[in-house]
Amino acid sequence: MITNSIKNDFSEKYLERTRYKGRGRENETTAHSDQKTIGTGVYESDKINVNTSATKTTAGLNPSGRLSFKGANAYVSKYANKTAAELENTLAGKLVKNKVFNWFIDQTSGNTLITEALVALGLTAVFRPLAIAALPAKDEKDKMKNRYQIGQAISTGIVGLGLTFLVSEPIKRSFSRLLDKPENFLKKNLDLTSKEVHPKIKSALKETTIRLVQPVFLPLKAKLTIMMIPPILAALGIKKIKSNPTESLSPAQKAAVDYSFMSFKGDSENKKIFQNFAGNATKINKNQQSPSFKANLKSLINADIAEKGKKWNQKAANVLYDTVATAMGKVIDTETFKKFINWFKDTNFMPHLIAGESIWLTGFYANETRRSKDIEKEQKLPLVLNQVITTGFCTAGAYGFDGTIKNKMTDLQAIYKKLNPNLPKEVIESKLTGIKLLAPVVIFTVIYRFIGPVVVTPIANAISNKIQNRTQN
């Protein structure tokens, strides 16, 4: 009885005692009751144990030291109490005022799928070609292989961006239409789209909803890209060289290849579509052009037809957006989806979404390898192991690096708020969301699309070879 009395007395005093929460909040008391917020602007879901050792990521904090689905964040930026004058001349201060950076975070806040594709384009069109060009070429055959790989990398980035835009932009606009008039598309879970909803719910809902199509789109995009690259490169005169050619190239052929690659003129047929681009080609014979072409074109493209076409396009777009928004509404209206979003908002959802998509795509490639009739049976296991190991290393590395810069992104958010005090609430919220999402988008895309193919793949090859040797023995 005495022991229980002492224990209860201590617990009541402990629950009500003053706890230090940071500068300017020393006098707040923590009562363990059903409070909605703790302090100004801090939601109940953000409560943490400040003494817990944690592994942190840009999306949250991990109390167990393992890969976590907990999203709470204890870090208070050291820039929170600095003045705008102290911050504006720093590197971060100049960054938040940069127009390109602001465009990028606006794009990220609006459509992370496009940001991923833009980052991938930069990697495949700039960094990967530089890495390929740095490889030593023993002979002309190696040079031609490198040129083909460079053209393939650049084309992959461009095609990927184009396909992503064609699919993700209508989805983003459909989701915006759903948010503007949720009563037209939702019957039950209207609270998820309320303007007063917690920013974490809003962000988790948007990112999850616009990515619902990814399990279908990503494999389709991969197949379309593989199909489209060869004819694109062939049109540019960049041909794939077989690994075991039956005869060496003549000097004339070598010169034709060099000229074709540098000028993008095309092959020896001197295709007319590249003549103007080459600069020194013969001009197209004017007699081959129809003298009435311009007149016919002007008569067709008149104001009446243009106006009708504009109205038809807008009508078709509205039908598309309404159809997609209706489909989204059916998913969002389910109780399962609502429970998922209410749980998912407190996780590191952006890294998890990207990692989940990459793992799914790896499974697709592994299954395609297993089913392929063009790959020898003894080669299938090493290829599948290579794909799985590469994805595993990349995922672990991306999560690890994402955690190391988590506090830096929080600092950047604090600096942005300090240097832009007059922005409307919705605008600043969108900007801060863009900064928060930008880090995992860039990190995971760089590691999956560049570090993986260049650095991790050789390691995965060595590991898969060892595994295969052990299974054979």
Q: Which of 78-92, 231-245, 404-418 is predicted most confidently?
A: 404-418
Residue 237 is predicted with a pLDDT of 82
Q: In the chain, what are the domain boundaries?
A: 54-112+348-473, 135-243+250-283+313-347
What are the backbone dihedrals phi and psi of residue 212, each rounded to the nearest 5 degrees, phi first?
A: -60, -30
Residue 295 is predicted with a pLDDT of 53
What are the backbone dihedrals phi and psi of residue 194, each rounded to the nearest 5 degrees, phi first?
A: -65, 145
In angstroms, what is the C-alpha Rg of the chain?
28
Q: At what angle do helices 377-404 and 457-472 cross, to 10 degrees?
A: 140
With CA atoms as reference, report the closest residue to 106 among 440, 430, 419, 445: 430
pLDDT higher at 290 or 160: 160
Q: Is residue 149's pLDDT more than 70?
A: yes
Residue 473 is predicted with a pLDDT of 62
With CA atoms as reference, report the closest residue to 432 among 105, 99, 80, 92: 105
**Which residue is associated with the tokens 């930008």?**
438
Residue 279 is predicted with a pLDDT of 46
What is the amino acid identity at position 20? Y
Spatial separation of the C-alpha atoms in residues 29 and 20, rounded to whole Å = 9
- How do beta strands 60-62 and 55-57 pair? antiparallel
- List, in order, residues 6 or more apart from 455 with CB less than 8 Å away: none
Range 356-368 average pLDDT: 92
Spatial separation of the C-alpha atoms in residues 43 and 39, rounded to whole Å = 8
Partner residues linked to 37 by β-bridges: 43
* 3-class state of residue 386 by DSSP: helix
Question: Rounded to two decimals, what is the model's pTM?
Answer: 0.67
Q: Which pLDDT tens digit goes with each residue over 318-328? A: 999 999 999 99
Largest CA distance in the chain: 110
With CA atoms as reference, report the closest residue to 457 among 399, 390, 401, 396: 390
Range 220-227 average pLDDT: 91
